[in-house]
Amino acid sequence: EAQVTQNPRYLITVTGKKLTVTCSQNMNHEYMSWYRQDPGLGLRQIYYSMNVEVTDKGDVPEGYKVSRKEKRNFPLILESPSPNQTSLYFCASRSGTVSYEQYFGPGTRLTVT
């Protein structure tokens, strides 16, 4: 089944404790993105990647890092999480040429205390 998976689905952590949210897709998609969703603000893009070793900032990249060492994986790293990073995070992927539609993961609800 074609899908985007994220782990963990729920995470409660404390300020400053480094964490990684994993994202994996099995559709051989070139493009992958991370979004955060906050009430009243909709979805905002954090980072995106156009292919292996090619990443770039989205609209709200501060406090986040990403890497794309393999085509299928695109982890989101919070080196020193802060309470304002409490949010619902989505990973998404799409084909580079076939279609513009994005496939979203199920989401990771992160709480930073």
Partner 1 sequence: SQQGEEDPQALSIQEGENATMNCSYKTSINNLQWYRQNSGRGLVHLILIRSNEREKHSGRLRVTLDTSKKSSSLLITASRAADTASYFCATDPRLYSGGGADGLTFGKGTHLIIQP
Binding site for partner 1 (CB under 8 A): 4, 31, 33, 35, 40-45, 48, 50, 56, 58-59, 88, 90, 92, 96-97, 99-107, 109
- Give the nearest distance from C-beta 54 to partner 1 in angstroms: 10
Q: Give me the least distance between CB of 58 and partner 1, in Å please.
A: 6
- Residue 8 CB, shortest distance to partner 1, in Å, is 15
> Among residues 50 and 52, whose Cβ is nearest to partner 1?
50
The encoded tokens of residue 90 equal: 């989505």
Q: How far is the CB of 7 from partner 1 (least distance, A)?
A: 14
HEC sequence for the chain: CCCEEEECCEEEECCCCCEEEEEEECCCCCEEEEEEEECCCEEEEEEEEEECCEEEECCCCCCCEECCCCCCECCEEECCCCHHHCEEEEEEEECCCCCCCCEECCCEEEEEC
Residue number, 55 or 85, with CB nearest to partner 1: 55
Name which of 60 and 80 has its Cβ closer to partner 1: 60
41: left (phi over 0), alpha (psi -120 to 50) or beta: alpha
Cβ proximity to partner 1: between 60 and 112 the closer is 60
